[in-house]
């Protein structure tokens, strides 16, 4: 029995070697593309074969195919094979980096057929997971391609999803924040957050970046904020997106200026926050109630002590001159909030009664976990 097993392994090893030989010395692009596809299939088979393929040196050969081949099919086959070789293996991903995959990326940017392909970004997503390890991953060659693709009109949604996965991995490391944070990046992510397919990925990246003061400032100053967050918070069929949007709104509003919190009221944040406070998941409800409390207390905000024991207070209505005008401002804001609450309470109650019991709503919403977030 043991002899038969050894013989089978020898036959398998011989077959693998034939494929590797065809990959390295195939006479035509078609033959090499077929060999690359076969390498991918063999790599999926088992971990032993995957290790054996790497030992036979297929990784540098496949990397060269990506950059040297003129045939799109060959490039995609090579990328797919590398994806399989890198799946679940730290060593093979490092081999790809050492083979020059990242340093040569700028060469691909003029070739839109391949540089916009989902397969390339699935491969980059796999390699970018090295950012979560101690491996010193140089992102300077990845990010330009990522930024260009996120802002490209000709990139498909699937490509952008793979691109977002790459950027998410890179955004988990503080050392990469400075390179990632730019006005174009924030704009692209906020735009993608309004697309239901790409929203969760974009919001997850923003949630990673917002811990940086520079990113927080650029998010807060963007013209789409807070309206974009209010729109996402209204998606009751996307609980994870709602949680992320409320989190971002809370972080930006924390210690925020009076103007920003006024913008929350103007863009209808109060009613959606009330709905989430009633029907959202536990963590989303806590965040929503915190923001509502800040809005409620905005009429009189404590200011830091400038000198001595005196604590100065500033009114929300400092822009109004005179007691009478200030009172009119107070009434106008109060009436606006009351009207907003009245107008939306019926809608909130309809949503609540349309579901069989509040416990069912709670169970549905809390199925989305946010343990990774700090609030």
Q: State pLDDT tens for residues 310-326.
A: 444 434 444 444 566 55
14-101 is a CATH 3.40.50.2300 domain: no
pLDDT at res. 310? 43
pLDDT at res. 294? 87
Q: Categorize the per-residue pLDDT at 258 as very low, low, confident or very high, splitting at 50, 70 and 90.
A: confident
Tokens of 234: 């209204």
Q: How far apart are CA 63 and CA 124, in angstroms?
A: 12
List, in order, residues 6 or more apart from 13 with CB less than 8 Å away: 52
pTM of the model as a whole? 0.77
Examine the pLDDT at 352 and tell me if it is beyond 60.
no
Tens-place pLDDT, residues 27-67: 788 999 999 999 999 999 888 899 999 999 999 999 999 99
- Domain range annotation of the chain: 14-101, 106-222, 226-303+312-375
25 or 81: which leads in pLDDT: 81
pLDDT at res. 369? 38
pLDDT at res. 84? 96
Average confidence (pLDDT) over 353-358: 46
Tens-place pLDDT, residues 151-163: 998 899 999 999 9
pLDDT over 90, % of the chain: 59
Average pLDDT, the chain: 82
């Amino acid at each position: 029995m043991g002899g038969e097993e050894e013989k089978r392994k020898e036959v398998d090893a011989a077959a693998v070697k034939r494929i590797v030989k065809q990959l390295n010395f195939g006479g035509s692009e078609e033959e090499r593309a077929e060999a690359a596809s076969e390498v991918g299939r063999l790599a999926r088979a088992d971990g032993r074969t995957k290790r054996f393929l790497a030992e036979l040196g297929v990784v540098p050969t496949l990397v060269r195919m990506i950059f040297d081949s003129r045939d799109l099919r060959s490039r995609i086959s090579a990328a797919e094979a590398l994806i399989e070789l890198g799946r679940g293996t730290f060593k093979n991903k490092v081999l790809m980096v050492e083979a020059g995959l990242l340093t040569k990326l700028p060469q691909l940017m003029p070739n839109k057929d391949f540089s916009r392909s989902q397969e390339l970004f699935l491969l980059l997503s796999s390699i970018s997971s090295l950012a979560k390890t101690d491996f010193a991953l140089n992102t300077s060659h990845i990010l330009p391609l990522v930024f260009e693709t996120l802002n490209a009109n000709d990139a498909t949604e699937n490509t952008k999803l793979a691109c977002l996965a790459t950027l998410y991995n890179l955004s988990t490391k503080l050392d990469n924040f400075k390179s990632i944070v730019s006005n174009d990046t924030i704009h692209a992510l906020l735009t993608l957050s309004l697309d239901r397919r790409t929203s969760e990925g974009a919001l997850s990246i923003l949630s990673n970046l917002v811990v940086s003061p520079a990113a927080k400032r650029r998010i807060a100053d963007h013209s789409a904020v807070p309206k974009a967050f209010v729109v996402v918070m209204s998606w009751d069929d996307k609980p994870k997106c709602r949680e992320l949007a409320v989190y971002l709104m809370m972080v930006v509003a924390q210690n925020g200026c009076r103007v920003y919190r006024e913008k929350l009221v103007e863009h209808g944040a109060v009613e959606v926050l009330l709905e989430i406070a009633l029907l959202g998941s536990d963590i989303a409800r806590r965040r929503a109630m915190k923001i509502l409390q800040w809005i409620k207390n905005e009429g009189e905000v404590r200011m830091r002590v400038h000198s001595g024991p005196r604590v100065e207070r500033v009114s929300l209505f400092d822009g109004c001159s005179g007691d009478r005008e200030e009172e009119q401002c107070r009434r106008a804001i109060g009436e606006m909030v009351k009207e907003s609450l009245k107008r939306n309470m019926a809608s909130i109650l309809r949503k609540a009664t349309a579901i069989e019991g509040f416990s069912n709503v709670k169970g549905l919403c809390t199925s989305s976990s946010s343990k990774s977030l700090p609030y």
